[in-house]
């Protein structure tokens, strides 16, 4: 006998479909306009299926040197920030997951306290300045590589690993770091993969810290460059397109709109390509809330 589908299940599926549509349609709209003629980019309404193709917006942005410099800065920042973040998550969560750690509750409380109460933007700016990181690319990596929430997630996951595995490795003569590398790290791939995706997305999309700490454009990331394209419309168009084409672009703002959409797609694709490689770990990652110490 076939099991009947309940009314609540139908409502949930409808809501999920609506959520998927609301999420996907804007991206399809931007992607279609980015490869459509300029008159389509400046017109109103939905454009989900391209009727004509025009890749002049992509050709225009790919010729600009500052775009590639910003791209390189973002890739370096994302790679180093993610690697350092994963290292700190493991080093910070592993001791807290052990019940034999002296004063474990006290240290956990101190760490959690900093998640709810922070000094704010001005003390953070003064700290970055005193450390000599103002105007330095490390100001984009070091402050952003430590997340209390992610450490708590890793701690919860490590606490769910049977203690007998550690005791067996210890009997075989393994030390603390050998147990961490050979026992806990291989079993922690799901949580580390999920947090790696979250970290990559967060670092890749972060532009505000660069706006505050990097006054020069040599080290500024791609998202800050994109913001300037979208916000500083005419000025950035002149920089991207060159003086001769700038006059024409200013007169024809619809071509500028096409270039903006092409820039959005160009800066978003790397993050979208990263998701399929970590997708198989998402199911285990979303189950973290059910873990109990």
Whole-angstrom Cα distance, residue 288 to residue 83?
A: 22
**Rg, C-alpha atoms of the chain:** 24
CA 292 to chain centre: 28
If we measure between CA atoms, which residue out of 203, 209, 205 comes closest to residue 124? Answer: 209
Domains observed in the chain: 57-290 (1.10.3720.10)
pLDDT of amino acid 250: 45
pLDDT of amino acid 289: 45
Q: Give the mean model confidence (pLDDT) for residues 88-93.
A: 89
Dihedral angle at the C-alpha atoms of 174, 177, 182, 188, nearest 10 degrees?
A: 140
pLDDT of amino acid 221: 86
Task: Dump pLDDT digits (tens) for 136-184.
Answer: 888 888 888 888 888 888 888 888 888 888 888 888 787 788 888 888 8
How many other CB atoms are found less than 10 A from the CB of residue 159?
16
pLDDT of amino acid 15: 92
If we measure between CA atoms, which residue out of 96, 125, 113 comes closest to residue 184? Answer: 96
Q: Where residue 188 falls among pLDDT bands split at 50, 70, 90?
A: confident
Q: In this structure, are residues 259 and 62 in contact, taking their beta carbons and an 8 Å threshold?
A: no
Query: pTM above 0.75?
Result: no
Would you give the end-to-end CA distance of the chain in angstroms? Answer: 40
> Among 31-45, 116-130, 277-291, which is the least confidently predicted range?
277-291
DSSP result, 187-242: HTHHHHHHHHHHHHHHHHH--HHHHHH--SGGG--HHHHHHHHHHSHHHHHHHHH-
Q: Where residue 292 falls among pLDDT bands split at 50, 70, 90?
A: very low
Mean pLDDT over the full length of the chain: 78
DSSP state of 118: -
Q: Would the pLDDT of 293 be above 50?
A: no
If we measure between CA atoms, which residue out of 203, 243, 205, 240 comes closest to residue 224? Answer: 205
pLDDT of amino acid 256: 61
């Amino acid at each position: 006998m076939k099991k009947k589908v309940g009314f609540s299940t139908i409502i949930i599926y409808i809501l999920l479909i609506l959520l998927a549509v609301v999420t996907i349609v804007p991206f399809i709209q931007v992607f279609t306009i980015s490869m459509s003629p300029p008159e389509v980019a400046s017109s109103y309404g939905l454009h989900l299926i391209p009727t004509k193709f025009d890749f002049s917006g992509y050709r225009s942005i790919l010729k600009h040197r500052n775009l590639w410099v910003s791209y390189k800065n973002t890739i370096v920042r994302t790679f180093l920030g993610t690697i350092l973040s994963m290292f700190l998550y493991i080093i910070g969560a592993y001791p807290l997951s052990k019940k034999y750690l002296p004063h474990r509750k006290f240290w956990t409380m101190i760490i959690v306290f900093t998640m709810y109460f922070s000094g704010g933007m001005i003390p953070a700016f003064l700290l970055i300045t005193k450390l000599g990181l103002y105007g330095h690319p490390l100001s984009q990596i070091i402050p952003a590589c430590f997340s209390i929430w992610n450490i708590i997630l890793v701690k919860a996951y490590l606490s769910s690993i049977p203690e007998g595995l550690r005791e067996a490795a210890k009997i075989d003569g393994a030390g603390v770091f050998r147990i961490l590398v050979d026992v806990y790290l291989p079993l922690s791939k799901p949580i580390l993969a999920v947090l790696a995706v979250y970290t990559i997305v967060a670092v890749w999309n972060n532009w505000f810290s660069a706006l505050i700490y990097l006054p020069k454009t040599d080290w500024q990331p791609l998202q800050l460059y994109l913001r300037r394209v979208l916000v500083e419309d005419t000025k950035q168009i002149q920089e991207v397109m060159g003086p001769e084409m700038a006059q024409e672009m200013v007169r024809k703002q619809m071509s500028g709109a096409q270039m903006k959409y092409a820039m959005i797609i160009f800066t978003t694709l790397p993050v979208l390509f990263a998701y399929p490689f970590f997708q198989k770990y998402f199911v285990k990652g979303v189950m973290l809330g059910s873990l109990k110490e």
